């Protein structure tokens, strides 16, 4: 499909500028202060889908933020690809660690991205990767090469647990009917090592609150005699891992899928340098569960991380206070077969049970999702593999990701179709971190590769 | 001294209103945003000391906030009382837990204060208690009953460790020469149980920073494979106490003064209801070091409390991040014979030693001070005891306080004189907490009692 590459070359500046405009809107779904911007972003997505050639695009209201639905049906006898993505982004804080404002995109060259990378919150996760599909549609329609039907479902609550998506999918199964779901919200191993994500971890995200005395106390007058909620919280959290870094919640590992040595050996073939990994993070040593490699710890093993903690005086200087309350946000990454709602209950039960009598504990589940696996003999996977072979000249490596896209298992349940995760970002793109960026090369390579997926998927569907 | 009580009755409304005006100025020394207010407060203290009858008052510059010095010398052959107090206050946060704005004083009746209490940050600690001495001077001068010389030294950095006071005292030993130092910055057991604080705990206040990866990371992609600084910090802090709630820092207890059973029995005579204590704090159980009572845990035993902790995402909603850094403010209350600088070093050495290789740790000492004990055969103590007997009709109980006034031991070292701690606040006055208040009855009772101290101290000094 040579003329596709030609089209990309002729229009790449516009493709980049259109994405930059989209990145300027701070669509932070976690913070209601950005509500208007999130809604404004949905409207922009609608415009871009119409411009790309969709026959019909609508902004669908939900109990939360709207979902943008678009479609181009060329022949109901042909297969249908459903593209999923999200237009909301993670909160930008800590703001002061950004080298440039998170919502004022700039293109800068980096060691890994000599062609330049777009620095902005959402550049990779997921506005940039989602927009690749919009531009791929534009190319296929403008060059008369759209081989099948396409539907888009772009949501605005992915970063807060896709609260309304299940509600929407359940109510629109016919509208969303498809033969394969295509998502670009993951990464690949390296620019010269294309990979397709075949597994995702599930997630259980909770918030805990420990309450001691009914008011903040003077640490001199009460120190040593009253339970300090912060000290207690640290003790409780510390006890959630044993000395081998196993998670101590009773029943937590009961349903964990244990990979065979063969599977682990297969995984171990992926190129990985522990030294380069440590160097890229400026750490002297990695840290994790005994008996597993770094790549296993962050993909096939469940984990428990504190994502935020706060309590007492955190301002300038010193305050000798015993806080009345201490808080933490805790998330657990789950592997296939672990049920996130069951794990959430196990956590709640255990955490409440280890609280000393001197405090009261509240556990509030935030959200969660199930893990997921795509078999590599699935024709969607094979179409994607052929597409990468054409555009990268290499067979992509099937990869388990440590991340979670909770809705993938929901799609399988409600829409009875498999999801193909074609990610073009890199781990070093700092998604969810300050200075998130997305390589211009990766962005354009993604736009080139996606139409090839449509081509091969349509062909393989016929046979 | 009947006419003193008469004077107080005639002028009490003005005494209260003057204090209220002083409380309106937010002199928060811990936060540079309040710098101008802190300095403005010093100027107000100067005015009030002149109005109360000081011959000479000056605002003495220091490397930090100024110290207000005032004196009235009536006869160099007579003894001299040096009054110490502070005009700075604790930060008001958490603001939202105040029933009325912290710097808009209001008088409200409470169960313990049926005559009303002044609610405002600093009302008890220490503007209210310090101002009792200003009004007591006014009474003694206006009624011609000042029996000896008096000097005032009112500082503005007590809540941040009296950074500049040592500097000032060392350079002004002659100016500050005195026979006894009088401070009201402590509490008494109850309105009907007057007490004099004979012991104070020392303090070591440090801030710790744990650094893992060089940037915030996506908890899905890195979770389980990289040390999470928050998880590590909780493990490190939790390990600072053993299962008996003893502090685990090597050498921490080496110099701790162990009281005899007789002394502990004497202490135990102070009226105390554990049920009332728990009820006042809404807690089901107290919590502390094995083998000691609540009153011992917060007075004669050293402690370690986290005063603040923060790291990662603490905003609304959820963010699946592994933070690059986690922080905590930790203070240790020390007992007589423990040297705060030595303890600070022991903490630093130990905390750094327990950090896993996967993180780096920084320990920054904030400030500290030594513990202190006043013997009850000291004539200053006896004069105070007689004063309470006259005004309360009861002999005050000598009491060890869990709080710290680091500079008291400094005074003994530099000025060679003992300090008498006549406190009129109550533990329930919520100092350092939201809704700090000071009973109007306590305020006026203090103003009545202080002149009696001058009378008896002068008499006892002659004999």
**CB atoms near residue B76 (< 10 Å):** 7
Is residue B347 pLDDT above 80, yes or no? yes
* Mean pLDDT to the nearest integer, B140-169: 95
**Which chain B residues touch A221 with a CB distance below 8 Å?**
187, 298, 401-403, 427, 431
Is residue A76 pLDDT above 90, yes or no? yes
* Mean pLDDT to the nearest integer, A154-168: 94
Is residue A418 pLDDT above 90, yes or no? yes
Residue B76 φ/ψ, nearest 5 degrees = -65, -10
Contact B312 A321 (CB under 8 A): no
**Which chain A residues touch B404 with a CB distance below 8 Å?**
220, 320
Is residue A266 pLDDT above 80, yes or no? no
* Mean pLDDT to the nearest integer, B237-243: 98
Contact A310 B305 (CB under 8 A): no
Bridge-based pairing state of the strands A195-200 and A397-400 = parallel
Is residue A319 pLDDT above 90, yes or no? no
What pLDDT, on the 0 to 100 scale, is given for residue A262? 83
Contact assessment for residue A214 and residue B288, using Cβ atoms and an 8 Å cutoff: no
Contact B281 A367 (CB under 8 A): no
What pLDDT, on the 0 to 100 scale, is given for residue B128? 98
Confidence band of A3 (pLDDT split at 50, 70, 90): confident
What pLDDT, on the 0 to 100 scale, is given for residue A409? 85
Contact A307 B312 (CB under 8 A): yes
A396-414 pLDDT, tens digit each: 988 888 777 778 888 998 9
Is residue A173 pLDDT above 80, yes or no? yes
Contacts of A430 (CB under 8 A, 6+ apart): A436, A437, B215
**Which chain B residues touch A35 with a CB distance below 8 Å?**
none
Confidence band of A1 (pLDDT split at 50, 70, 90): low
B217-233 pLDDT, tens digit each: 988 889 999 999 999 99
Nearest-Cα residue of chain B relative to residue A239: B235
% of chain B surpassing 70 pLDDT: 100
Higher pLDDT pick, A376 / A20: A20
DSSP B367: E
Helix axes B379-392, B440-462, angle to 10 degrees: 130
Contact A401 B297 (CB under 8 A): no
Q: CA B126 to CA B153: how far, in whole Å?
A: 13
What pLDDT, on the 0 to 100 scale, is given for residue B1? 63
B363-419 pLDDT, tens digit each: 999 888 888 888 888 999 999 999 999 999 999 988 888 877 778 888 998 999 999
* Mean pLDDT to the nearest integer, B298-311: 95
Residue owning tokens 């706060």 = A310
What pLDDT, on the 0 to 100 scale, is given for residue B220? 83
A85-106 pLDDT, tens digit each: 999 999 998 899 999 999 999 9
Decide: residue B87, CB within 10 A, 0-12 exposed, 13-18 middle, 19+ buried: buried
What pLDDT, on the 0 to 100 scale, is given for residue B271? 84
Q: Which range (A71-75, A196-200, B139-143, B300-304) has the least confidence?
A: A196-200
How long is chain A? 463
**Which chain A residues touch B285 with a CB distance below 8 Å?**
227, 356-358
**Which chain B residues touch A274 with a CB distance below 8 Å?**
none
Helix axes A379-392, A440-462, angle to 10 degrees: 130
Contact B93 A161 (CB under 8 A): no
Confidence band of A82 (pLDDT split at 50, 70, 90): very high
Torsion-angle region of A393 (φ positive above 0: left; ψ -120 to 50: alpha; else: beta): left
A343-374 pLDDT, tens digit each: 999 999 999 999 999 999 999 998 888 888 88
Bridge-based pairing state of the strands A106-108 and A303-312 = unpaired
To test the contact with chain B by mutation, choose from A32, A319, A333 the residue with the greatest count of B C-beta atoms within 10 A, namely A319
Of B297, B316, B320, the CB nearest to A307: B320
Of B31, B214, B432, the CB nearest to A315: B31
Q: Which range (A214-223, A381-390, B167-176) has the least confidence?
A: A214-223
What pLDDT, on the 0 to 100 scale, is given for residue A2? 61
What pLDDT, on the 0 to 100 scale, is given for residue B330? 98
Is residue B2 pLDDT above 70, yes or no? no
Nearest-Cα residue of chain B relative to residue A295: B225
**Which chain B residues touch A303 with a CB distance below 8 Å?**
219, 223-224
Q: How close is the nearest chain A Cα to the Cα of B74, in Å?
A: 38
Q: How close is the nearest chain A Cα to the Cα of B463, in Å?
A: 37
B243-257 pLDDT, tens digit each: 999 999 999 999 998
Contact B318 A366 (CB under 8 A): yes
Contact A187 B221 (CB under 8 A): yes
Of A32, A218, A230, the CB nearest to B309: A230
Q: How close is the nearest chain A Cα to the Cα of B75, in Å?
A: 39
Q: Where are the alpha helices (DSSP H) in B311-463?
A: 340-353, 379-392, 407-415, 440-462
Structure pTM?
Answer: 0.75
How long is chain B? 463
Average per-residue pLDDT in chain B? 94
**Which chain A residues touch B189 with a CB distance below 8 Å?**
none
Contact B238 A241 (CB under 8 A): no
B48-100 pLDDT, tens digit each: 999 999 999 999 999 999 999 999 999 999 999 999 999 999 999 889 999 99
Contacts of A226 (CB under 8 A, 6+ apart): A212, A213, A217, A322, A358, B281, B283, B286, B287, B288
Contact A326 B309 (CB under 8 A): yes
* Mean pLDDT to the nearest integer, B2-18: 93
What pLDDT, on the 0 to 100 scale, is given for residue B117? 98
């Amino acid at each position: 499909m040579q003329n596709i590459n030609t089209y990309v070359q002729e229009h790449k500046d516009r493709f980049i500028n259109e994405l930059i405009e989209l990145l300027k809107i701070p669509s932070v779904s976690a913070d209601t202060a950005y509500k208007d911007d999130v809604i404004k972003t949905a409207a922009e997505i609608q415009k871009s889908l119409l411009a790309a050639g969709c026959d019909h695009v609508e902004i669908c209201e939900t109990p939360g933020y709207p979902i943008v639905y678009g479609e181009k049906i060329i022949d109901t006898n042909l297969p249908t690809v459903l593209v999923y993505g999200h237009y909301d982004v993670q909160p930008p804080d800590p703001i002061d660690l950004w080298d440039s404002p998170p919502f004022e995109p700039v293109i800068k060259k980096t060691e890994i991205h000599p062609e330049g990378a777009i620095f902005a919150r959402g550049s990779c996760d997921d506005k940039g990767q989602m927009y690749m599909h919009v531009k791929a549609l534009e190319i296929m329609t403008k060059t008369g090469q759209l081989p099948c039907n396409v539907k888009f479902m772009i949501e605005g609550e992915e970063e807060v647990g896709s609260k309304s998506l299940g509600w929407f999918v359940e109510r629109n199964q016919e509208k969303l009917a498809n033969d394969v779901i295509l998502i670009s919200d993951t990464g690949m191993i390296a620019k010269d090592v294309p990979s397709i994500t075949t597994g995702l971890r599930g997630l259980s995200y909770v918030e805990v609150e420990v309450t001691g005395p009914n008011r903040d106390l003077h640490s001199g007058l009460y120190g040593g005699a009253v339970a300090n909620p912060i000290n207690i919280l640290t003790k409780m959290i510390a006890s959630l891992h044993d000395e081998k870094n196993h998670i101590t919640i009773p029943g937590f590992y009961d349903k964990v899928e244990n990979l065979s040595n063969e599977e682990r050996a297969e995984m171990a073939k992926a190129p990985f340098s522990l030294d380069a990994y440590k160097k890229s993070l400026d750490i002297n040593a990695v840290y994790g569960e005994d008996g597993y490699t770094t790549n296993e710890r962050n993909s096939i093993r469940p984990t428990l991380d504190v994502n935020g903690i706060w309590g007492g005086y955190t301002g300038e200087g010193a305050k000798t206070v015993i806080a009345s309350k201490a808080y933490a946000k805790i998330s657990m990454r789950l592997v296939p077969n672990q049920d996130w709602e069951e794990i959430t209950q196990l956590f709640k039960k255990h955490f409440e049970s280890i609280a000393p009598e001197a405090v009261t504990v509240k556990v509030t589940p935030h959200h969660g999702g199930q893990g997921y696996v795509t078999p590599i003999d699935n024709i969607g996977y094979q179409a994607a593999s052929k597409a990468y072979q054409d555009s990268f000249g290499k067979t992509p490596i099937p990869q388990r990701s440590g991340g979670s896209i909770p809705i993938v298992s929901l799609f399988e349940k409600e829409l009875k179709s498999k999801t193909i995760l074609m990610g073009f970002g890199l781990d070093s793109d700092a998604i969810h971190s300050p200075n998130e960026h997305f390589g211009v090369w990766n962005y354009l390579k993604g736009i080139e590769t996606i139409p090839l997926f449509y081509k091969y998927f349509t062909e393989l569907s016929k046979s």
